[in-house]
A and B are shown apart, each in its own frame.
Chain A
């Protein structure tokens, strides 16, 4: 099994994601993007605690907490990756990635807490920047949005710095 890289040629996968972007623009009038889906889901969970308070937040005036295209896209990604992993014999339930284990050992609580904290920081950054690796990095960049190219460069700069501290 090829542990580095993927089962398919990366240039082909990239080109197909480009074609997929064309399809989402044409059929759904939507760019690919994932981070807003998590924000809407967070709002739906917020409804369980206090609907009134969640509705009062400025962010949710604009992006109502509801199941819509992008939320379905996020669920689809989980399913699609499941099909792909099964079809390639790559599905396996694991908690600790190999690279992590080699440097930080096999403590499950450590990996899960760092992943959780990383998720909190990443979501906050995505909302502040206005998108994630898909929304800015692919959809915004391919439409030549200035802010998207700046955000994409910043994603990698911030990521490279912290990765260097962790693994350097």
Chain B
């Protein structure tokens, strides 16, 4: 027991900036605490933004409420500039998702259909539960069942739908053959214009 407590106090003595492989593992204690912390902030922001409300989310799909678009575009714009900036300074690694045309489109349409029925997405559903919307409990039970159903079929799907149009981790600049920085110099202001249009015409 004595040696165990020595080990844990030695662990605690490692400097906070230390990024060894063990501390980076997603189930390391530090990561669990950070995950909870970031989740609390995310949930707080989602609720304050109003996007934990069924009516606001359905309003986005019915094109009668543009709160979701405003929040998402602003998050994309700020996060894009910040993360590519930090990446250029060597501070962060990118986590690109693979592009699989068939799976992205079919899965995306299926997701959207489910989204309209439940009225919450996975993140906003958790936030809806936090603000007292008990219908989100049934929705989350559905999410768990649907996830397991997918896992049951995952082996089959990997040989067909998931393989169709698999292009790997490509980015928008690759499509038109330019580098990331010049692309961002044009693309970021375009997102800014889109936000400005939302501000002017869809208050």
Where the two chains meet, the residues of A that have a C-beta atom closer than 8 Å to any C-beta of B are 2-8, 10-32, 34-35, 37-39, 41-43, 45-46, 54, 57-60, 66-85, 88, 90-100, 111-164, 166-167
B134, A119: Cβ atoms closer than 8 Å: no
B108, A151: Cβ atoms closer than 8 Å: yes
The verdict on A18 contacting B146 (CB below 8 Å), with A31-B95, A80-B44 known, is no
The verdict on A80 contacting B42 (CB below 8 Å), with A99-B54, A122-B115, A123-B143 known, is yes
B197 at the interface (CB under 8 A from A): no
A116 to chain B minimum Cβ distance, whole angstroms, is 4
B contact residues around A82 at 8 Å (CB): 43, 130-131
A97, B114: Cβ atoms closer than 8 Å: no
The verdict on A123 contacting B144 (CB below 8 Å), with A161-B112, A163-B116 known, is yes
When C-beta atoms are compared, the residue in chain A nearest to B184 turns out to be: A144
Where the two chains meet, the residues of B that have a C-beta atom closer than 8 Å to any C-beta of A are 24, 26-27, 31-56, 58-63, 65, 67, 70-80, 82-83, 86, 91-101, 103-119, 121-136, 138-152, 154-155, 157-158, 161-162, 167, 169-175, 180, 183, 187, 195, 199
* Chain B contact residues, majority secondary structure: helix
A-B residue pairs in contact (CB < 8 Å), sample of 24: A5-B50, A5-B67, A10-B49, A15-B77, A18-B80, A21-B83, A29-B92, A35-B122, A73-B42, A79-B40, A94-B133, A94-B134, A94-B135, A114-B118, A119-B125, A120-B143, A120-B146, A124-B146, A132-B121, A134-B123, A143-B95, A145-B97, A155-B112, A159-B112
B contact residues around A127 at 8 Å (CB): 107, 146-147, 150-151, 154
- Most chain-B CB neighbours within 10 Å: which of A114, A136, A143? A143
B55, A97: Cβ atoms closer than 8 Å: yes
Which of B62, B86, B112 meets A26, CB within 8 Å? B86
A contact residues around B70 at 8 Å (CB): 10-11, 14
**Distance in angstroms between the alpha carbons of A46 and B151 in the assembled complex:** 10
B contact residues around A77 at 8 Å (CB): 39-40, 42-43, 46, 123, 126-127, 130
